[in-house]
Amino acid sequence: MIDLTVNGATARVDVDPATPLLYVLRDDLRLHAAKFGCGLGQCGACTVLVDDRPVFACLLPVGAVGARTVTTVEGLGSAAAPGDVQRAFLHEQAAQCGYCIPGMIARAEGLLRKTVTPTETELRSAMAPSLCRCGTHMRILRAVRRAAVMRGGGVVEPAEPVT
Amino acid sequence: MSRPGIRRIVVIAVVLLGLCGIAFAAIAYRPAIARVTRPDPRQFDPALVARGANLARLGNCVSCHQAAGGRPYVGGYPIKTPFGTIYGSNITPDSATGIGSWSPAAFRRAMREGVGRDGSHLYPAFPYTHYAGVADGDVDALYAFLMTRPAVRAVPPANRMIPPLGFRPLLAGWKLLFFDPQPVVADPRQSAAWNRGRYIGETLAHCTACHSPRGLLQQEKRGDRAYDGGWSGGWYAPPINARSPAVRAWTVERLDAYFRTGLSTAHAAAAGPMGPVTYNLARAEPADVRAMATYYAWQMRAAPAARAEPRLPDRRALAGQRHPEGARLYDGACAVCHEPGAAMMVAGRPALPLGTPLHEANPRDTIQVILKGLKPPVAPRGPYMPAFADALDDRQVAEIVAYLQARHGTGPAWPDLETDVAAARKEGE
């Protein structure tokens, strides 16, 4: 038996500790926001927060989570009452097919929990591990910038004028 | 002692100290070279600029003269040393903040003698100890290349040195001790490619800056210790001489492919600070890269794998018994790509036991690869591994490393893995 804290609630699951966290979230806990994409840590669709840090849930053995807390997009808001990052994504219409978006939102949330005033470089490198095959990256970046402002910060541009 | 006696001793001491100071000042003093108006970029022969571009790639200048996310040659990359952090300088032709006001003579003096245009001594983090051997024509080509880059007005962060090392005249003393420029004289017994490879590797490419151990004052160890393995940005640069720990021979072909693609299918992908090196080599003249491969294959000609490539064990069951948690973590986090038959193996990536890190004298590179992963070093399509720094804690990474070494390693077991994981997190970039 493995005990997990997911979205503030505790859960007990009876699985092999080498099982990827993603399978436990989707199959045992019925939390379907995080997606299976590549299963190789290459696409980011499975990204969730573990102790405020974005990780690939497809490559994290559930037995390695331990006492750390897991947060999925379900823990950030609902369709009826979306959280601020979700509202920012809605406002910028950042989703096309939407498959990558739960991972993108988890990644954005992880960045904003670290700092609400990231530089553009920090923003881009934080979001880079998640891929969007539809090509909505520019809208996704706008959404994260908007969410940073909603949290009282904002993305600061590095000053480096060219002569 | 009488008062006049004490006074005499004090006077003599003051005079001696003063003489020492004057002597040191005489050694340390280098005059400024007058500013020039930034040369018109159109005055440079395009062929000379192209030659300089190739040399800048071979020399990997941007590794230090470009910050993460910044523009090339603008500087700002932090070089961490035991004596403090030095930031790569702006070497774009901006007259106020770069080298736009440097004459060819000032540039040559900086490259050859480690002295800035204003006469200040440069920290040997700028490897003039190597550049002293660069041929005149090549220095001029680099000058032409840099002077034709876009001028960017940017001041890198100020160096943060442990006092009194921020006082640059002290570097004159370092130079007296360790700066002994030797020209690279061609060896007529060796091929033209070997000689070209040695010239590039020993001067502009400054490979020993990472691959040789350093002494107390950060001087590179030479002679028998050259290429004996060193440290760079929290990563271990393994020996690339007869003590290379690789388990497959570094032939000219394999080195050439590794330099140009960032991947040797018989070894591993270029990781850590070697990634950007291959990025630049992939864009340099292929003949020069092959020449370097020729010279460095020769450097490793007496390495164990060059004599006989060992059979590689797979002690899976034994390693699992010894490190059961490491085995479970490996099964859940690593096996999907690394186990024989996994998708990435079928795609032609080198098998885990071929990776040189598992056979090195210390666990640092194995740990760093797990913590930081791999970025495709040369092109968007290339070897990639996700970073596990945020997914696994120090103990978990240590368990995986212990399991991997027990399963595939060929050297003695690494001690204190958890301590080294914590250190790697701190030191890594």
Q: Which two tokens stand for residue B209?
A: 């800056």
CA distance B343 to chain A (A): 9
Decide if A139 is inside a domain: yes
Nearest to A160 among B154, B328, B386 (CB): B154
Closest C-alpha to B387, from A42, A34, A23: A42
d(CA A48, CA A37): 13
Total structural domains in chain A? Answer: 1
Asked if the Cβ–Cβ distance from B344 to A40 is below 8 Å, we say yes
Centre a 10 Å sphere on the Cβ of residue B91 and count the other Cβ atoms it contains. Answer: 28
Ligand-binding annotation for B20, yes or no, is: no
d(CA A69, CA A157): 33
Q: Which residues of B fall within a CB distance of 8 Å from A125?
A: 68-69
Ligand-binding annotation for B130, yes or no, is: no
Average pLDDT of B293-316? 96
Residue A159 has pLDDT above 50, yes or no: no
Decide if A160 is inside a domain: no
CATH assignment at residue A146: 3.10.20.30
Say what the pLDDT of residue B290 is.
Answer: 98
- Tell me the count of A-B CB pairs closer than 8 A: 77
Asked if the Cβ–Cβ distance from B391 to A163 is below 8 Å, we say no
Interface mutation vs chain A, best among B66, B97, B392, most A CBs within 10 Å: B392
Tell the burial category of B178 from Cβ atoms under 10 Å away from its Cβ (0-12, 13-18, 19+). middle
Q: Is B74 on the interface with A (CB under 8 A)?
A: yes
Q: How far apart are the first and last CA of chain A?
A: 63
Q: At what angle do helices A101-114 and A137-150 cross, to 10 degrees?
A: 40
Asked if the Cβ–Cβ distance from A163 to B153 is below 8 Å, we say yes
Q: Which residues of B fall within a CB distance of 8 Å from A40?
A: 336-337, 343-344, 386
Q: Which residue has the tokens 């390695």?
A: A64
The DSSP call for residue A10 is E
pTM: 0.92
Domain span at residue A112 reads: 2-150
Decide if A157 is inside a domain: no
Decide if A155 is inside a domain: no
The DSSP call for residue A33 is S
pLDDT 10s digits, B182-217:
889 999 999 999 999 999 999 999 999 999 999 999
Asked if the Cβ–Cβ distance from A160 to B332 is below 8 Å, we say no
pLDDT 10s digits, B140-174:
999 999 999 999 999 999 999 999 999 999 999 99
3-state secondary structure of B280: helix
Where are the strands (E) in B128-229, listed by range?
A: 160-161
pLDDT band at B259 (very low <50, low <70, confident <90, very high): very high
Nearest to A20 among B150, B332, B344 (CB): B332
d(CA B399, CA B319): 11
- Of chain B, the percentage scoring pLDDT greater than 70 comes to 99
pLDDT 10s digits, B104-130:
999 999 999 999 999 999 999 999 999
Please tell me whether the peptide bond between B286 and the residue prior to it is cis, using omega within 30 degrees of 0.
Answer: no
Instruction: Evaluate whether B76 touches B70 at the Cβ level (below 8 Å).
Output: yes
Ligand-binding annotation for B408, yes or no, is: no
Say what the pLDDT of residue B228 is.
Answer: 97
Asked if the Cβ–Cβ distance from A40 to B343 is below 8 Å, we say yes
How far is Cα of residue B267 from the mean position of the Cα atoms in its chain? 20
Q: Which residues of B fall within a CB distance of 8 Å from A50?
A: 390-391
Closest C-alpha to B272, from B203, B371, B391: B371
- B 323-362: CB under 8 A from A: 328-329, 331-333, 336-337, 343-344
CA distance A64 to chain B (A): 7
Q: Which two tokens stand for residue A1?
A: 């038996």
CA distance B87 to chain A (A): 16
Mean pLDDT over all residues of chain B?
94
Decide if A141 is inside a domain: yes
Say what the pLDDT of residue A161 is.
Answer: 42
Chain A CA closest to residue B391 = A55
Say what the pLDDT of residue B343 is.
Answer: 86
Q: Which two tokens stand for residue B220?
A: 């590179």
pLDDT 10s digits, A15-62:
999 999 999 999 999 999 999 999 999 999 999 999 999 999 999 999
Closest C-alpha to A29, from A47, A46, A7, A44: A7
Say what the pLDDT of residue B381 is.
Answer: 87
Centre a 10 Å sphere on the Cβ of residue B177 and count the other Cβ atoms it contains. Answer: 10
Tell the burial category of A34 from Cβ atoms under 10 Å away from its Cβ (0-12, 13-18, 19+). buried
Instruction: Evaluate whether B227 touches B153 at the Cβ level (below 8 Å).
Output: no
Average pLDDT of A76-85? 96
pLDDT 10s digits, B312-360:
989 999 999 999 999 999 999 999 999 989 988 988 899 999 999 999 9
Decide if A34 is inside a domain: yes
Q: H or E stretch including B307?
A: helix B304-307
Q: Which two tokens stand for residue B410?
A: 């060929």
Asked if the Cβ–Cβ distance from A158 to B332 is below 8 Å, we say no
Decide if A156 is inside a domain: no
Residue B427 has pLDDT above 90, yes or no: no
Residue B429 has pLDDT above 90, yes or no: no
Decide if A163 is inside a domain: no
CA distance B62 to chain A (A): 17
